[in-house]
Amino acid sequence: MGRWSRMPCMLAIAAACGLALAQDGDDPLGERRALDDGAIVHTERMEDGLYFDRWYVWPLVEFDEPVPGLYNVLRDGKSGELSATLAVDCEARTAKWEGGVLYGSEMVGQDDLDRIAPPEVARNVIERYCAGADTGSP
């Protein structure tokens, strides 16, 4: 029952990711802006040193407006494609994976993403998008 009770939530997240990616009617990645070098938050070299994964991020957009605290994350490279949603709390300086899709069809949850994604990805998203946020420090 636990596995099936999460399924509607995961499908909603996947649909949100799909809506956010469909920025342009002709190109499902909105003119592939997600793969712009300016969107890279982390490059992870593989053990052999020849191959790597790049992690890209951009704000999740619904109805032409950014959704506060939610970001699309895309991994592209040797390990295969992964798209996921990362929820960021700038005030607390924390991030939590909301779910995603691996290889275009395999649904993955928070536990999987915590294992798959290097911690530098969430840290770098917080650094990039929370730079002006009040952290409560004097």
Element (H, E) at 117: none
Which residues have a Cβ under 8 Å from the Cβ of 107 and sit 6 or more positions away? 7, 10, 11, 14, 99, 100, 101
Percent of the chain clearing pLDDT 70 (strictly above): 70
Mean pLDDT over 81-87 rounds to: 96
Point out which residues pair with 75 in neighbouring strands: 55, 82
Report residue 122: phi and psi, to 5°.
-65, -40
**Tokens found for residue 8:** 């509607």
For 106, which DSSP code?
E
pLDDT at 131 over 50: yes
Q: What is the pTM of this model?
A: 0.70
